[in-house]
Structure 1
Amino acid sequence: MRMLHTSDWHLGRSFHRVGMLEHQAVFLDHLVEVVRSQRVDVVVVAGDVYDRALPSVDTVRLLNDAVERIVDAGAQLVLTSGNHDSADRLGFGGRVLERGGVHLRTRVEDLARPVLVADDHGEVAIYGVPYLEPALVADRLGSARTHQGVLAAAAERVRDDLGERAPGTRSVLAAHAFVVGGEISESERDISVGGVSSVPAAVFAGVDYVALGHLHGPQRISDTIRYSGSPLAYSFGEAGHHKRSWLVDVGEHGRCSVESVPAPVPRPLAVLSGELDELLNDPRLGGAERSWCHVSLTDPVRPRAAMERLRTRFPHTLVVAFEPRGERPESLTYAQRLRGRSPIEVCCGFVEHARGGDAVADGDRALLADALEGGRRAQDEADLEGRRTGAA
């Protein structure tokens, strides 16, 4: 049985206020082609299909189209809900969709109801464990109100069901969880409960392959316990990631062979640091000209119109930080950070910071200048009135 393990699509997500739906569509086109060319039997998506509980109409349409094409390419589809999804909304119509090969696992009641896929060696039971919010499901599972408690109870239900099946039945468990040994990224939402956010891999003992979702970096906890990671980078901290899916062959006696399937990169990430003029003229940075860029400027004095000037060479610059060489910004006092800057530069700097590095437009700069001038005149009039009152 051949399975494609993927997760954390986060359909509808934006990257520093830039919509990613077009790039997510590129990944889904790639995934459908992999299903077709590699003769994939089952696609498993381990949670966070959507980025939010109420996705936009265009986002829902994108998923609907992808589901239809995956099934048409010859694969069944197993989708679990993650901590970003609305389990009820994602799971709507699940019983009907199963007739067409689309299996939604979003409810506690379905933890031990596997999707059964047959091959020459018998059946493979695929169990889907959605993200389990301890406060909501612990009582129903009879477990402690912790991430580990609810997952351990869910895995026990899976083992109980597996024990009642024919000897030799192979198993796959898809779960949205934070497993000990996994490396976090900046773009994941914390799921810690009571200070405990991770579970030991031993929780999943007795299962032939564990397809994990939640962490955005592809990684191997063990040979048979893996995170596929997100198909696209959703933070600059993921600039070093090599995004992928896992192609898993579940053979006789549950032996698994795993192959990496690199994901397309519609636009790479670049993290740049240096003085503005150096960055604009460095021939070694040609590759960053088509990348999303995070730029740390090390000039001793903040350059004027830094964002506009950077975008003349790096048009996809999204974030600009000012970090003078030799000084750590977090170690400077507020007065030191403002030294040498005019009132209008202070105001524009604040607006740029609040907007995530976006430059202040000429019109906005003029409004700020008018406001500063109005404030100055009001202060002068108040001072003059004070002197008159004192003289009287």
Structure 2
Amino acid sequence: MRFLHLSDLHLGKRVNEFSMLEDQAYILKEILNIIDAQKVEAVLIAGDIYDKVIPSAEAVRLLDDFLTRIAARELPVFLISGNHDSAERVAFGSRLMSSRQIYLSPVFESDVEPITISDRYGEINIYMLPFVKPSLVKRVYPEEEIITYQDAVNAAVQHMQIDTDKRNILLAHQFVTGAARCDSEELSVGGVDDVDASVFDGFDYVALGHLHGPQKIGKETVRYSGTPLKYSFSETNHKKAAVIVDVEEKGKINIQQIPFLPKHDMREVRGTYMEVTALDFYKDMNTDDYLHITLTDEEDIPDAIGKLRCIYPNIMKLSYDNLRTRAAGTVRGTAEVEEKSPMELLREFYELQNNQPMTDEQEEVARGMMEEIWEDER
């Protein structure tokens, strides 16, 4: 049977105050095209369906349309909640939707029971484990010692009592030890949410969600699909792709990846203002992409982002890399502040911020403004 493994759609997400809904609608249509072209027979979605616990109406409509289109193809969908989701909201209507082969993970309140589907090789058991914390699992199994995330996931898996003679697939949304994170993900201090991959040894394939970078963990069959879109500039080098998993007879699994082609890529651009605005610099570039532009000019360009948007309309972030920003000072104690004149304080502040002293002309302007303000206050 051929599966499509997805995760971390984050529907409704905003990146640097840009709504990603249009891009998400675009990539969901591309996913449907991949489903058709690759003759996918079932879809696995491993959590973080929404970006917020209480998603926007637009995000809910987007998911509804996507699932309706898959249901029209008469394909089973297995979908679990992630740490960004409300398990209760994701589970709503699950019994009704299952009649259309849309299987939603229930709230974790008891042993996880598999959903069994069949192909020409026999039965495949699909286990759906939503994102769990130790306290949640402890409530279900109060007699067991459950302190860490490792304890929690291990207890949940042990109670599944899987038949290792059969083919078993697990959907889970956790951080597995050894995986690489990026800036757009929620981090836990000290790695307290780590789960060792050995917990999943009894499964033929583990469809993981939670991390945005596509990657395998230890072996090919324990895998994060990653997000279908880039959601931070720490992801600019990610190769986003749909993960196609062919599950054949017991012990035989083939995996391939189909690259996603987004409506807008996310890239970083660097150079002086004159360089990045030169036609030769951008003529072969998709200037509609989401960009982080770093200017290397020593002096700030007035209204730089407004001017640059005439060429690059979707700038998300503008930075400077120059002598001032590389050698930015640190604010020191203020014990002597009352002994210094306003001009001295301004002079020190300017040098701290710009890594160079004020010019005579700047001091003259500043002194004139101070005198004008004080004169008005008299």
Normalising by structure 1, we get a TM-score of 0.82
RMSD: 2.4
Measured at CA, do residues 149 and 330 of structure 1 come closer, stay the same or move farther in structure 2, by a change above 3 Å?
Answer: farther
Counterparts of 1:330 and 1:180 in 2: how far apart (Å)? 36
Counterpart position of 1:148 = 150
Amino acid at match of 1:380: E
Kindly indicate whether the alpha-carbon contact (under 8 Å) linking 2:204 and 2:251 is maintained by their aligned counterparts in 1.
yes
Kindly indicate whether the alpha-carbon contact (under 8 Å) linking 1:230 and 1:243 is maintained by their aligned counterparts in 2.
yes
Counterpart position of 2:229 = 232
Measured at CA, do residues 378 and 3 of structure 1 come closer, stay the same or move farther in structure 2, by a change above 3 Å?
Answer: same
Counterpart position of 1:207 = 203
Cα displacement (A) at 1:327: 5.4
Counterpart position of 1:271 = 268
Amino acid at match of 1:202: S
Kindly indicate whether the alpha-carbon contact (under 8 Å) linking 1:171 and 1:254 is maintained by their aligned counterparts in 2.
no
Counterpart position of 2:294 = 296
The residue correspondences of 1:320-331 to structure 2 (distance < 5 A) are: 320-325=318-323, 328-330=326-328
Amino acid at match of 2:353: R
Counterpart position of 1:363 = none
The residue correspondences of 1:56-205 to structure 2 (distance < 5 A) are: 56-109=56-109, 112-141=112-141, 142-158=144-160, 160=161, 162-163=162-163, 168-190=165-187, 192=188, 195-205=191-201
Deviations 1:257-309 (A, max 9, x none): 11102112110122112221121116244415121110111111111111112
Measured at CA, do residues 8 and 180 of structure 1 come closer, stay the same or move farther in structure 2, by a change above 3 Å?
Answer: same
Measured at CA, do residues 340 and 209 of structure 1 come closer, stay the same or move farther in structure 2, by a change above 3 Å?
Answer: same
1:336 to 2:332 alignment = no
Cα displacement (A) at 1:330: 4.8
Kindly indicate whether the alpha-carbon contact (under 8 Å) linking 2:94 and 2:106 is maintained by their aligned counterparts in 1.
no
Measured at CA, do residues 336 and 46 of structure 1 come closer, stay the same or move farther in structure 2, by a change above 3 Å?
Answer: same
Deviations 1:10-65 (A, max 9, x none): 00001211111111111111222222232222101000001101111111111111
Amino acid at match of 1:154: A
1:242 to 2:239 alignment = yes
Deviations 1:165-200 (A, max 9, x none): xx732000011011122111111112x377513211
Counterparts of 2:75 and 2:114 in 1: how far apart (Å)? 16
| Local SS of the residue matching 1:96 | helix
Q: How many aligned positions are there?
A: 348
Cα displacement (A) at 1:133: 2.3
Amino acid at match of 1:336: L
Counterpart position of 1:379 = 374
Kindly indicate whether the alpha-carbon contact (under 8 Å) linking 1:26 and 1:264 is maintained by their aligned counterparts in 2.
no
| Local SS of the residue matching 1:295 | strand
Amino acid at match of 1:337: Q
Deviations 1:138-183 (A, max 9, x none): 332334232222111112122x1x23xxx73200001101112211
Counterpart position of 2:27 = 27
Bigger fraction of residues in helix: 1
Measured at CA, do residues 138 and 340 of structure 1 come closer, stay the same or move farther in structure 2, by a change above 3 Å?
Answer: farther
